[in-house]
Homo-oligomer: A and B are copies of this chain.
Amino acid sequence: MITTPPRGMRDFLPDEVRRRQYVIGVIADVYQRYGFEPLETPAVENIETLLGKYGEEGDRLIFKILKRGEGEASGAADLALRYDLTVPLARVVAEYRAKLPKFFKRYQVQPVWRADRPQKGRFREFYQCDVDAIGSSSPLVDAELCLAACEVLRKLRFTDFELHVNHREVLTGLLTGCGVPEERHGNALVALDKFDKVGLSGVLQELEDRGFEKRVSNALTGWQGVRWPKEWREWMVSQLPLLGDRGRAGAQNLHDIIDLLSKTEAESYVRVNPSLARGLSYYTGAIFEIRVSDLVGSLAGGGRYDNLIGMFLGEQIPACGISLGLERILVVMGQRGMFPEELTATAADVMLTIWNGAQMADTLALAAELRSAGLRVDVYPEADKLGKQFKYASSRGVPFVLVVGDDEAARGEVAVKNLATGEQTSVPRNGVVRFITSQSNIPS
């Protein structure tokens, strides 16, 4: 019988779960301090909720669920697995509008599923960690989202990341200024977005191949040296005639966001990235990516999408969000050895040995006392040779082993063995909890 998980999906054994839970815990803690609240939606959505939201390629990658009962034979699907956390959020905002606050700030950490071809670092089931603020188009919202995402990374001990920003309306303004009709904008942005992969010459070639004139290439790539906000402002001023009203409003908006960020702890991370376009079609304003040099792709990405919720609600509601790439964060942290030492530690602080069946009840009572003191206690499940039990504890990395032999029991004592030092100490039965908690780093 097959015992592997499905292709592109993973089992997480305990050490891996602890690492994932640690990162998710930091994310949740930071987002809560920024006033974001947790939301959870079902893994499964009605298929109409998802189809047509992610482009043609996206539709193909959706896992579809067969109808049940009589419908099963038809081969038709009525449900599908969640493809991202943004469309479910838009659905939730539309469904519960009256119950939700005017400014709904939510974070959501749940798996999504995509039938992509599995590759190194690309899975068919993976977690997204999204944070979104609904209901305001204020630049403070964009700035706070960037700040919060940067703080998550700092709390995880990243120091070398960059927050790349750009603005969809600046790109729109430039393209419109060059006379490119709106329906061809996406086409140009897809080419621009490949800058990191194919470089300037590659982008120029691609734009030419896609039939864009030289002046379009110049407008989109003429500011490629720009990196710092100060340079960007100068370049923007030089482009004012080309930008038009929408482009100028976009530039002003990005200026305001950068200005707010420049007075915060995120200041040193901000870079303007002229080739940042972000693949998803629903962005309407500022766009963001957080990058580190030793990773192709980004640790986080997001932006403003003021029209998506309107697709579900009829009424337009402004929104902005950032998604942290949990799987990528875990990969980089693993490569760099960034996990706290205690995470790689054992499942138990103490193991209790078992001599014989008659002594099991006493052992459980001692285990209960140690557990009440907050210690993680393993009990060897069956009577066995003591050497074998010590060896087992050692293989599991348990630091202390307790033995209540007949002699010790008669003297009202417990033998405590420190497996790291090999030292064995006799401790009065009623002093065991204090002895262990004082020797280990566990808060009692």
Name A's B-contacting residues (CB within 8 A). 1-6, 9-14, 17-18, 20-21, 32-46, 48-49, 60, 63-66, 68-69, 72-77, 79, 81, 91-92, 94-96, 99-103, 105-106, 111, 113, 115, 124-125, 133, 135-136, 138-141, 143-144, 147, 256, 259-260, 263-265, 311-313, 347-348, 351, 354, 357, 360-365, 368, 371, 374-382, 392, 395-396
Contacts and interface: CB of A to CB of B under 8 A. Distances in A.
15 contacts: A3-B49, A3-B313, A6-B44, A13-B92, A17-B39, A20-B40, A32-B347, A33-B374, A42-B125, A65-B81, A75-B76, A135-B381, A144-B364, A259-B361, A263-B364
A406 B271 CA distance: 32
Contacts of A378: 34-35, 105
A443 to B, nearest CB: 13
Contacts of A135: 381
A42 B99 contact: no
Nearest to A108: B17
Nearest to A14: B37
A381 B304 CA distance: 14
Nearest to A378: B35
Given A11-B40, A42-B9, A35 B348 contact: yes
B311 A1 contact: yes
Contacts of A106: 14
The 6 closest A-B pairs by CB, nearest first: A75-B75, A35-B378, A14-B37, A9-B42, A136-B381, A138-B382
Q: Which of A34, A106, A113, A256 has the most CB of B within 10 A?
A: A34
Contacts of A48: 1-2
Contacts of A144: 364, 379, 381
Contacts of A74: 75
Contacts of A133: 381
A371 B33 contact: yes
A24 B339 CA distance: 24
Nearest to A36: B347
A259 to B, nearest CB: 7
A38 B66 contact: no
Given A36-B347, A125-B43, A256 B357 contact: yes
A304 to B, nearest CB: 13
Contacts of A49: 1-3
Given A95-B11, A101-B396, A102-B392, A136 B347 contact: no
B1 A33 contact: no
A141 B42 contact: no
Contacts of A101: 392, 395-396
Contacts of A365: 263-264
Contacts of A35: 347-348, 351, 376-379
Contact of A103 (B69, B72, B381): B381
B64 A65 contact: yes
B382 A6 contact: no
Contacts of A72: 64
Contacts of A41: 5, 11-12
A86 to B, nearest CB: 15
A62 to B, nearest CB: 9
Nearest to A18: B38
A100 B72 CA distance: 39
A13 B63 contact: no
Contact of A360 (B10, B75, B77, B260): B260
A360 B6 contact: no
B64 A140 contact: no
Given A65-B63, A74-B75, A378-B105, A13 B100 contact: yes
A382 B43 CA distance: 34
Contacts of A43: 43, 81, 111, 113, 125
B376 A33 contact: yes
A57 to B, nearest CB: 13
A44 B125 contact: yes
A284 B34 CA distance: 51
